[in-house]
Amino acid sequence: MKLPNLQFLQVFVGKLSKKDRLIFYLTVFMVSLLILDRAIVSPVFSKIKSLNNQVRDKQAEIKKNLRLLAQKDRIITGSVKYSSFLGDARLSDDQQVTLVLKELESLASKSSVYLVDMKPAGVKTSGSSKIIMINLNCEAQMEQLVNFMYNLENSNSLISIEKYQLVPKTRESSVAKCSISVYKIVAL
């Protein structure tokens, strides 16, 4: 490899006054320092910092996990206790929707409520759970309707009423028309 000719640099520095030479050397020094910082120091220190953070996070995670493990028995007991409420997370969305529809129909017939229609309103996944939305329209006596709503809220399938609208079917009628939006939570 041919080395660059540095003679011109020597000539250039030689022509400078003492003060200018000092400024030139200081500039070269500062620029070298800057390059050193940008090329080596900063990347190395940021790598060390990132590794430090990773180690700290990992240690915090391990501490949290150890605390969790200390509560293992309590969690398993709770899990067994509430297992009846938890559906099968392995089923597909369609299968889950069908299951909910079936259950709604069963609860409606148990409460003598006439189901006009039921429509799936989508499936939303948020974090560690899935929400299956169903809109239904039904007709029944007010008492039966309330009974149906009670059965919905007390089912073992984590079904909840999100919104409802109650109106009399006709003027002076004792039959009420009801639109209900329900959702079921499935833990993943």
- Reduce the DSSP state of residue 159 to 3 states and report it: strand
- Alpha helices by DSSP H, listed for 111-164, are 142-153
The reply to whether 42 sits near another protein by the rule CB under 8 A is: no
The reply to whether 150 sits near another protein by the rule CB under 8 A is: yes
The reply to whether 86 sits near another protein by the rule CB under 8 A is: yes
The reply to whether 27 sits near another protein by the rule CB under 8 A is: no
Enumerate residues 91-110 that contact another protein by CB under 8 A: none
Which tokens sit at 66?
């150890």
Binding piece for another protein, criterion CB under 8 A, among 2-10, 51-59, 106-114, 116-124:
51-59
CA distance 114 to 19: 100
Residue pair 178/164 in contact (Cβ under 8 Å)? The answer is yes
Binding piece for another protein, criterion CB under 8 A, among 3-11, 62-70, 95-103, 107-115:
62-70
CA distance 111 to 143: 9
Question: In the bound complex, what is the minimum distance in angstroms from residue 16's beta carbon to another protein?
Answer: 13
CA distance 153 to 138: 16
Q: Write the CA distances from 7 to 3, 4, 79, integer angstroms.
A: 11, 9, 82
The reply to whether 68 sits near another protein by the rule CB under 8 A is: yes
Binding piece for another protein, criterion CB under 8 A, among 1-9, 112-120, 132-140, 153-161:
153-161
- Reduce the DSSP state of residue 76 to 3 states and report it: helix
Binding site for another protein (CB under 8 A): 25, 29, 44, 47-48, 51-52, 54-55, 58-59, 61-62, 64-66, 68-69, 71-72, 75-76, 78-79, 82, 85-86, 127-129, 146, 149-150, 153-154, 158, 160-168, 185, 187-188
